Structures are given as structure tokens and as C-alpha cells.
């Protein structure tokens, strides 16, 4: 520029001494004006602290370098270093702070000058999915010593086959002792297909929900017969089963005749004797056992045999008198038709 001005002035002025002086003054003035136009005043803010500096450089990088402002590898500068610098412009420098990022089982110590968590993760190349949990949230401003935790969230659909339990039905059996249980039909496990939706956080299962179930094989029900018959010990060391036990008043009778059921009464100590009952309590045709008397059939009734009274048939009047009146236990062995 100076050479251009000088050339133009030579055309105007002659080579006289006076002309040379004037030319020199013009050149000096031009140079001064050029230098003045190159000088810029710039405000530099470093972590909020401002200072005013001067520079002749054209770029932000040059302006900072001229004033001994050294940048670290993770310093953030606005506008960027290659931007053209203007007079009275403000250059903002942000120094990095120490933060901790917990991700994928690692605790990373990171220096960053990024503004928020989202920018921090992007700058460090830490990727995450939309379903991942980030604490604090991605729009949180970065501060010194803050801790950022990323929880990896994954959902899987898993299908597995499982045993299907069988039901057990217990049927009462009057012909079995109450202490006896007998399997009539074995139970067989079935099979079902169960589909789950499983939620994992950092590889650990935190939630498991059933989506669907489908029976592949129906189970077979187990059937068990349970005895209901109780037992009573006989005088000779044997025992018999009974369905019901009654405490009753027993009298005795004898004589000839026909019972209410049309049979001849009898007394057989080692066999089956005849007793009279109240049919409302003990149905006619019921087989019983009475300690001290033996087995008997309810074949007869009587006008005074009501409620919890029974009358035992004897072969003689003396036997009936000898029996007298006693309280006895009456064991129901079998009801009519059994």
C-alpha cells in the first residue's frame, strides 16, 4: 500500500528537495494510519474474569498468543481460534473442570470445559441409547467435581418351557382305615411355554413380567383314596374298622317271637346277635360291634327303645337280668347295603 501511495505521489511531485520532504511526510502519515487501523482492543474473559488487551493480529489465536494467554488442550474458546478478531470484540475462554463419569463398570476421571452433560458425553465419545438412564439429566450444567452416572438399560423377550403342576384329588374311602392313603392314579407333570419380558440395568435383571403362557401338554391329575374308617381293638388282640362311635345305654331282653324286620332274634357270642334300636339313630340292618357283647345286627325295635338306648337280645331271662343296664360304646361297622 505504501509503495502504491509513493508511486502516485511521484507522479504528482517532482524530484526537487522540497518535493522529497513532502513525500516523506506523506509516507510516514500513511504508515501511521495503517498501523493505527491494525491495532485492536479486545476483552478476554477467562472463566468469567475479564481483562482488556491490545493486538495487531488478525485472528483470535493470534490475539491470545500476543498477550501470553496459553490455552490448554481442553480449553473452550468462543469465537473459535481461526475466527477473525475485531476491535472491541469479546473472547471467552472456559477452562476445564474435573468430573467423574461412571459407565460400563468404569469410573472415568475427565477434564471438560463443555457446558452440559450432553455436550460432555459427546465430546468424550461416550455413546448412549434413549432408554439408558443418565443422572443427572443430559441438560444439566457441568460443574466441578460433579458425578455423572450412566445406567445401561436393555429389554429382552425370553421364552422358556416349564413344568405344569398336576392337581391332586383326595377321595374318601370308607373301606380303608383312616391311617391309610392309597394312590389310585399317579399324577404326571404337564408342560407350558412361558414368554417373559425382562428388563436389565447394567446387565442385572431388575424386572421380569409374563407376556404370555401356552400349555403344550396337559397334566394328569393324581387321585388318592383316603381311608375314613377308624379302628377299635378287640379283646383278643385284633382290631376292627368302624365308621362311627356312639355312647349309648344298653338293656337286655329275651324270649320268643319275630323282630320288627321279620327275622327270628338270636344270640351268637361268636357270631352275629340281634339288638333292638331306635331306627332314627341306628338304621335297621346296620351292623355294629359292642364290647362285652360282640357283633350284632339292628333287626328289632322297642316301645321304650328311644334315642340313645339299645336293647340286646339274650338267650335266657337270667342272662338278660345279669346284663342289667349298662353304658356301652356302640361301633357302627356297616350301614344297610354296605
* Average of per-residue pLDDT values in the chain: 89
Secondary structure (3-state) at 19: helix
Q: Which residue has the higher pLDDT, 287 or 1?
A: 287
Secondary structure (3-state) at 92: strand
- The predicted-structure confidence for 129-153, as pLDDT tens digits, reads as follows 999 999 999 999 999 999 999 999 9
- In percent, how much of the chain has pLDDT > 70? 88
Write down the pLDDT at residue 25. 55
- Exposure class string for 5-37: b at 16+ Cβ within 10 A, else e: beeebeeeeeeeeeeeeebeebeeebeeeeeee
Residue 253 in contact with residue 316, Cβ under 8 Å?
no
Alpha carbons 298 and 278: distance in angstroms, whole number: 9
Alpha carbons 153 and 201: distance in angstroms, whole number: 5
Write down the pLDDT at residue 246. 96
Task: Name the pairing type of β-strands 40-46 and 90-94.
Answer: parallel
> pLDDT grade, residue 2 (50/70/90)?
very low
- The predicted-structure confidence for 163-184, as pLDDT tens digits, reads as follows 999 999 999 987 788 888 999 9
Fill in the DSSP letter of residue 262: S
**How many Cβ atoms are within 10 Å of 290's Cβ, its own excluded?**
19
Closest CA to 277 of 286, 269, 267: 286
Residue 290 in contact with residue 330, Cβ under 8 Å?
yes
Residue 200 in contact with residue 153, Cβ under 8 Å?
yes
- The predicted-structure confidence for 62-105, as pLDDT tens digits, reads as follows 999 989 899 998 999 999 999 999 999 999 999 999 999 999 99
> pLDDT grade, residue 33 (50/70/90)?
very low
SS (H, E, C) 37-57: HHCEEEEEEECCEEEEEEECC
> pLDDT grade, residue 234 (50/70/90)?
confident
Write down the pLDDT at residue 235. 66
> pLDDT grade, residue 1 (50/70/90)?
very low
Amino acid at each position: 500500500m505504501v509503495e502504491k501511495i509513493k508511486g502516485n505521489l511521484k507522479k504528482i511531485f517532482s524530484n526537487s528537495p522540497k518535493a522529497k520532504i513532502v513525500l516523506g511526510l506523506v509516507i510516514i502519515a500513511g504508515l501511521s494510519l495503517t498501523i493505527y487501523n491494525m491495532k485492536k482492543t479486545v476483552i478476554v474473559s477467562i472463566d468469567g474474569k475479564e481483562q482488556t488487551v491490545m493486538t495487531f493480529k488478525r485472528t483470535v489465536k493470534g490475539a491470545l498468543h500476543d498477550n501470553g494467554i496459553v490455552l490448554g488442550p481442553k480449553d473452550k474458546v468462543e469465537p473459535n481460534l481461526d475466527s477473525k478478531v475485531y476491535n472491541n470484540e469479546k473472547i471467552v475462554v472456559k477452562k476445564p473442570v474435573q468430573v467423574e463419569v461412571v459407565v460400563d463398570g468404569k469410573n472415568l476421571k475427565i477434564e471438560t470445559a463443555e457446558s452440559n452433560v450432553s455436550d460432555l458425553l459427546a465430546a468424550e465419545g461416550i455413546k448412549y441409547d434413549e432408554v439408558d438412564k443418565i443422572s443427572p439429566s443430559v441438560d444439566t450444567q457441568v460443574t466441578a467435581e460433579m458425578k455423572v452416572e450412566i445406567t445401561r438399560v436393555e429389554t429382552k423377550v425370553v421364552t422358556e418351557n416349564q413344568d405344569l403342576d398336576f392337581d391332586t384329588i383326595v377321595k374318601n374311602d370308607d373301606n380303608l382305615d383312616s391311617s391309610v392313603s392309597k394312590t389310585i392314579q399317579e399324577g404326571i407333570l404337564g408342560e407350558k411355554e412361558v414368554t417373559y419380558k425382562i428388563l436389565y440395568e447394567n446387565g442385572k435383571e431388575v424386572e421380569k413380567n409374563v407376556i404370555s403362557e401356552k400349555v403344550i401338554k396337559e397334566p394328569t391329575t393324581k387321585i388318592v383314596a383316603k381311608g375314613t374308617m377308624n379302628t377299635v381293638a378287640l379283646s383278643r388282640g385284633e382290631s376292627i374298622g368302624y365308621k362311627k362311635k356312639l355312647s349309648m345305654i344298653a338293656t337286655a331282653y329275651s324270649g320268643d317271637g319275630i323282630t320288627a324286620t321279620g327275622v327270628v332274634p338270636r344270640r351268637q357270642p361268636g357270631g352275629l346277635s340281634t339288638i333292638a334300636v331306635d331306627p332314627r339313630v341306628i338304621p335297621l340292618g346296620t351292623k355294629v360291634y359292642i364290647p362285652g357283647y360282640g357283633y350284632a345286627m339292628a333287626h328289632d325295635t322297642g316301645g321304650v327303645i328311644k334315642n340313645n338306648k339299645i336293647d340286646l337280645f339274650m338267650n335266657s331271662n337270667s342272662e338278660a337280668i345279669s346284663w342289667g343296664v349298662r353304658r356301652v360304646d356302640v361301633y357302627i361297622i356297616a350301614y344297610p347295603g354296605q
